[in-house]
Amino acid sequence: MSILNTQTQRLVHSFPRPKQDETEDVTLNRALRILSLIKDIGLVLAPEVQKWDFQQATPNDLPLRILQRRLCFTDLSADDLSRHSKIFGPLALFFDSTKLRNTGAMPVIYMPQGISEPISLIGALCVNGMQHTKHVLGQLQELKNYATPETASSSFGKPVAHDYNLHLQNTNAAGEIITSHSVPAEHVRQVLSHIEFNNIPFDHSIGFFSILLSMFCPTDNNHSNEPLGYYRQREWRLIAGDIMLNGRPLGRELLDTEKQNLVAIDPAFWNHELTVDKTLIPRKDLALVYEPTPGWRALDIVESIYAPRKALRRIREIIGDEIPVYESSAAD
C-alpha cells in the first residue's frame, strides 16, 4: 500500500541511471549496493564539470568549466514516478521536503544557453561574470594573506621583516611579465582593511560564490536534443565545497576505503578523470560526503522508499524497519 496519492509532491532522488545495454537485474543490484553505501557513509555528492560555451558572442574564448559537487532531487508526484525511474533509476528515495530544506537543499537556478543570437547568451555570460568575480575575490584574499605577517610567514616558511614589500606582477599567457610593482605590505593591509570594513570577508564571499556557481544548470538538454529538458525536471540540490557553517565544512572528503567501495560499485564512473584547473583528477578524489552537522544521518530524512517488487526484501535487509518500503507500481 502506498502513502502517496497522485497529487502528492515530494523531493525524490532516484538511482542509478541504467547504463546502455545493462540488464534490469544488473541495474537493480547496483542500486542496492548504493543504498547500502548511503546507510554506511551517507549521501555522496558526485562531482561534475558544467561547461558553458560563449562561441556566438566571443568566438575566441574557451568554454567556461565549473566544478560542481552535488546530489540532485526532483520535485515529483506519484504519477510521474514510473516515467522518472526509467530515466534515473529503479530505486527512489522520497524525502520529507521540510527536513530536506532544513538540511540545505535548494532549487537549481536555470540559465539559458545561447540559441542563434548573441543576446540569447546573456544568462551564460552572467555565470561567466560570477566566476570571474569569484576569481577577483580569490586574488584579494591572496593579497591579504601575503600582506599579513603571520600568514605570509606561514606561506613562505620563514619569518618576514616588519617593513617588507610585496612584489606584484602581471604576466601574459606566455609567462612574460607585463607589469611589475613593489608595494609596502602595510599599505596593502590598509587598503584591504578599508575594503572589508562592514563587508563580508573575502574568503566567505568566495564560499558563497562557490555555492551559487554549483546551483546553475542549463535549461536545455543538448545531449538528448531536448529544448528546456533540464528546466522541466524541477531539480533541487544539496551542495558542498568552499563554505563553512559554524566553523566546519558542509561536506567531508572520502576515506580511502570509502573510495574503494565507490569504485567497486561503478569503476567506470568513479575512476573517470575530470579536468579541473587544467589538471586531470579522478572523480572519486573530488567527491564529498554531505555532513552538515556532526553525526548527521541521511536516512533520518528519508520518508519512504519505492522500488520494484523483487527488490523489496533486500531493501528491508539493508535498512531494517525504520523506513517504509513500497513497490514502485503502488505509487502509480
pLDDT at 1: 39
**Own/partner pairs, 136-144, CB within 8 angstroms, 24+ separation:** 137/202, 137/205, 137/206, 137/209, 138/202, 138/206, 140/192, 140/195, 140/202, 141/202, 141/203, 141/206, 143/188, 143/192, 144/189, 144/192, 144/202
- Write out pLDDT tens, residues 244-268: 777 888 899 999 999 999 999 999 9
- Write out pLDDT tens, residues 141-179: 999 999 999 999 998 888 999 899 999 999 998 889 999
Average pLDDT, the chain: 91
Q: Please tell me the pTM assigned to this model.
A: 0.88
pLDDT at 331: 52
- Write out pLDDT tens, residues 181-222: 999 999 999 999 999 999 999 999 999 999 999 999 999 998
